[in-house]
Structure 1
Amino acid sequence: MTDPQIERKLIEIMRVISESDKPIGARNIADELQSRGYNLGERAVRYHLRILDERGFTEKHGYNGRTITTFGRKELDDALIGDRLGFVITRIEELIYNTNYDPISKEGNVIVNLSTLDKNDFDNALDVMKYAASGGMCISPNIKIFEEDSDSGVYVPEGSVGIATVCSITYDGVLLRNGIPVKPVYGGILEMEHNDPVQFRDLISYSGTSIDPVKIFMIRHATSVLDVLDTGNGRILANIRTIPSSAVDKAQEVLHQLEASGLGNVMNIGSSAYDLCGAPVEEGLSGILVGVGVNMISAVEEAGIPVSTSPVSTVLDYKVMSKL
């Protein structure tokens, strides 16, 4: 039996092919997978395509690429439905486990979001990101730049630049390493008034979707981060994780250490929907409300600069990141 991780990638490749209105090649498939949070290079995609061809799920059309077969479309409709629903939270939990950032020494791996944009837009995008970071619309002002020809293992399309920003799920990893059980539960659009969080306008559960909730809201262009920066009023991206209520004091201590180390954007900790802007919390648990790290990338998009982003993408050594 094929490894479950490979099966998930095969399903996602089939989805990409099925959504194309013409034959699509390995390079374009790799680009689209990158935007969906799968860091597969062109060579790896070709390997998976051979498996799909052998199973009769895809058909090769010379150098033009591949299409999905009727057999493959049926398999896509039927296969791994429950597995795909749980894949997002499973991948996030794996990254949480691999986070070892120490806020005291300011060393270790943090979770990052990966964004790509055209080289010609880079300088303008950087200006917007600096403005957003100065207004608190980030977890950390530190970023990492990836060139298209770098040997970092991060795929960057030709003519583009990659930017890694610190992801809010890093908090979950640090809390876990300090003995605090933590679970990401919701991502959503948060209404802000006078720079204070007021009410979630939309929420999606991390455990009930096959696409990262933050990614969904970015695709919808549902934010108005620049308005919040200019006037204090608007909508930003935020998420909530839960911890045992008995661990709140310890969590606050850890979060204060994180803020002192330069990682901040915790908005509130509470045990009721009132505390958490309308987000429900199970009895015995407390929620931690955080503005997410890609808000400054959303600001770039709002400024009219096209960006492709994969939230909660991978882990990166914080030491290789530099301040904006």
Structure 2
Amino acid sequence: MTDPQIERKLIEIMRVISESDKPIGARNIADELQNRGYNLGERAVRYHLRILDERGFTEKHGYNGRTITTSGRKELDDALIGDRLDFVITRIEELIYKTDYDPFSKKGNVIVNLSTVDKDDFDNAIDVMKYASSGDISISPNIKIFEEDSDPRVYVPPGCVNIATVCSITFDGLLLKSGIPIKPAYGGIIEMEHNDPVQFLDMISYSGTSIDPVKIFMMRHETSVLDVLDTGNGRILANMRNIPSSAIDKTKEVLKYLEDSGIGGVLSIGDSSDAMVGAPVEEGMAGILVAVGVNLVAAVEEAGIPVATSPVSMVLDYSEMSKL
């Protein structure tokens, strides 16, 4: 019997192929899998495609790529989405483990999001991100630019540029390294009034989704980050994590060190078991509400500039990043 991990990857590859209106190749499949949280390279995709071909679920069309067969579509219809429910949180936990940023030296790994924009839109996108970084709606004003073939760690589509922004899950890794048990809880849309968080308008649990919650809400285009920057009122992306209530004082100390080093974005810290801006907090736990790093990119989308974003993409040494 095939390993369950392989089976889940095979199902996701079939999903990608089925959603394409023409034959799709291994490289494009690998790119889309990365967007969905699957760290699978082109070579690994080719291996899995051979398995699908042998099972009769996909059909190869020369160099043009693959399409899904009738048998493959039936297999896909029978597959349970539950197979991927734990994948997102597992991927996050892996990156949390690799986070080792030191706020005093300003060096070490932080978790980053990767956003792709067309080269022709790059200058305008950076201008919007500079403006957005002037508000308290993101983690850090520091970014890293990846151009085509400039770095073997990152694939950049032809004619495009990738922009790395600091991901809020970095907080989880750094608090964990400080001995504070922490667990990502929810991601969603927060209503802001006078620059203060008021209420989660919609949220998704990290432990109960097959796609990163922040990516889902970015795809819905429901933010109004530019309005928040202009008036203090609007909607931004945020997520919440839980810590033991007994760790609040130590948590605030760690967060202060991070803020002094240029990594901020904490909107509020709850100190009771009451619901926090509409998000439930377990008894004996406290919630930490953080504005996510891709709010900078959401502002770019609101300005009418097309951009594709993969939240929680990889770790990157913060010293490689530069201020907008």
* Distance in 2 of aligned mates of 1:13 and 1:220: 23
Aligned to 1:35: 35
Q: Which residue does the alignment assign to 1:261?
A: 261
Aligned pair count reads 324
- Structure 2: runs of 5+ lacking an equivalent: none
Matches of 1:16 and 1:214, distance apart in 2: 20
Q: Which amino acid aligns with 2:195?
A: N
Q: Does 1:199 align with 2:216?
A: no
State TM-score, norm by structure 1: 0.95
Alignment partner of 1:315: what SS?
strand
Q: Matches of residues 73-84 of structure 1 in structure 2 within 5 Å?
A: 73-79=73-79, 81-84=81-84
Kindly indicate whether residue 125 of structure 2 is the aligned counterpart of residue 125 of structure 1. Answer: yes
Q: Distance in 2 between matches of 1:40 and 1:160?
A: 21
CA contact (8 A) 2:223 2:234 kept: yes
**8 Å contact kept, 2:112–2:313:** yes
Distance 1:159 1:38, change over 3 A: farther
Given the alignment of the two structures, is residue 239 of structure 1 paired with residue 277 of structure 2, yes or no? no
Moved more, 132-141 or 284-293: 132-141
Q: Matches of residues 1-324 of structure 1 in structure 2 within 5 Å?
A: 2=2, 4-79=4-79, 81-272=81-272, 276-324=276-324
Deviation (angstroms), 1:56? 2.3
Where does the alignment leave 5 or more consecutive residues of structure 1 unmatched? none
Q: How many percent of aligned residue pairs carry the same amino acid? A: 82
Cα deviation code 1:197-256 (max 9, x no counterpart): 111100111111100010000000010000001111100000000011111111111111
Asked whether the equivalents of residues 194 and 231 of structure 1 are also in contact (C-alpha less than 8 Å), the reply is yes
* Kept after mapping to 2: 8 A contact 1:167/1:311: yes
Q: State the alpha-carbon separation in 1 of the partners of residues 68 and 272 from structure 2.
A: 47
SS of equivalent to 1:262? coil
1:105-127: per-residue Cα shift (whole Å, max 9, x none)?
22210000011110000000000
Deviations for 1:262-310, whole angstroms, at most 9, x for unmatched residues? Answer: 1001011114576621111111111000000000000000000000000
For 1:82 and 1:275, the matched residues in 2 are separated by 28
Q: Which moved more, 1:129-138 or 1:173-182?
A: 129-138
The answer as to whether partners of 2:37 and 2:88 remain within 8 angstroms in 1 is no
Q: Which moved more, 1:58-67 or 1:188-197?
A: 58-67
Q: CA separation in 2, counterparts of 1:97 and 1:79?
A: 31
2:146/2:163 contact within 8 Å kept: yes
CA offsets per residue over residues 128-172 of structure 1, 9 Å max, x none? 000000112321111111011123321110000001100000000
